Chains A and B, each alone.
Chain A
Amino acid sequence: MTTEELKNVKSNLTVDARGTACPGPLLAAKKAIGEIESGEIMEILSADEGTKNDIPRWCEKVGHEYLGFYDEDSFSRLFLIKE
């Protein structure tokens, strides 16, 4: 998805993991994914650069659909659809 498209995405749950470094954001995402239903959208806020690579790999392995990310000033927003 393009940045413009992602900006219009309405997420069902936003996980703010800006306060933790690797593997914190992944752990936060893993914990939060149980709170939404299949087909719903989760948004992860992360200030950790590695997360941009880690979350897509996690999605690939576990089966969630990774939508993409875009950068804010000091962090990134990552989007995915729960399997």
Chain B
Amino acid sequence: MENTNEATLELLQKQVDVLTKKVGKLEKNRKDQLSMAVVSGDMDKILATMVISLAAAAMDTKVKLFFSFWSLSALRDPKKSPTGKDFISKMFGIMLPKSKNHLSLSNMNMAGMGPMMIKMLMKKKNVLSLDEMFKQAGELGIEITICEMSMGLMGFQPEEMIDYPHLRYAGAATFVADAGESAMQLFI
């Protein structure tokens, strides 16, 4: 009887050792880092992205944002006008929001009335504006990576994107690599 008990204990101990090793490995691989894939271009979702990123950065977590598809509109600079676009790219450029201040709401947009009301409320309730949030994000070292493929797909050019201190262009593998070593990954 005692022998079987000892054997079980030994077996358990072995399993614990294996698990400890695995956990150690995982802990080493996962940095205190937040990776977000931002795909939506709705005002509310970009707001959520920025609020969470700023909170994380303030808590000393490294933040890496990967912008692709509709979210690229939020990174356009309305003051810049790119040249040499083909017809479809021009159409996309005209039909998509011209900057983070031109985004629609995913709900209650009401032909632009919704965003106007939200902006008024944000001001009244002392919530930072998107412009201010991007400025703070730059100061806190939040990295923004723009999906190269989405740029090509939508016909956007680097010349029409915002001036942001930690901006780079890369592909999906960059996001996967960043996300893989992050303790937190979010998709918006």
Point out residues on A near B: beta carbons under 8 Å: 19-24, 26-27, 29-30, 47, 54, 57-58, 61-62
Contacts and interface: CB of A to CB of B under 8 A. Distances in A.
Contacts of B54: 23, 26-27
Contacts of B58: 23, 26-27, 29-30, 58
Interface in B109-134: 125-128
B19 interface: no
Given A19-B126, A21-B125, A21-B127, A61 B59 contact: yes
Interface of B is mostly: loop
Contacts of B11: none
Nearest to A48: B126
A23 B55 contact: yes
B125 A54 contact: no
28 contacts: A19-B126, A21-B125, A21-B126, A21-B128, A22-B51, A22-B55, A22-B127, A23-B51, A23-B54, A23-B55, A23-B58, A24-B126, A24-B127, A24-B128, A26-B54, A26-B55, A27-B54, A27-B58, A27-B136, A27-B140, A30-B58, A30-B59, A30-B140, A47-B126, A57-B59, A58-B58, A58-B59, A61-B59
A54 B128 contact: no
Interface of A is mostly: helix
A61 B55 contact: no
> Which of B51, B58, B125, B127: most chain A Cβ within 10 A?
B58
A30 B55 CA distance: 10
Contacts of A54: 55
B14 to A, nearest CB: 35
Q: Shortest 5 CB-CB distances between A and B: which pairs?
A: A30-B58, A23-B55, A21-B127, A26-B58, A21-B126
Contacts of A19: 126
Nearest to B55: A23
Nearest to A58: B59
A30 B136 CA distance: 12
Interface in B16-72: 51, 54-55, 58-60
A22 B50 CA distance: 11
B117 to A, nearest CB: 17
A23 B55 CA distance: 6
Nearest to A61: B59
A23 B54 CA distance: 7
A18 to B, nearest CB: 8
Given A27-B140, A54-B55, A57-B59, 19 more contacts: A19-B126, A21-B127, A22-B55, A22-B127, A23-B51, A23-B54, A23-B55, A24-B127, A26-B54, A26-B58, A26-B59, A27-B54, A27-B58, A27-B136, A30-B59, A30-B140, A58-B58, A58-B59, A61-B60
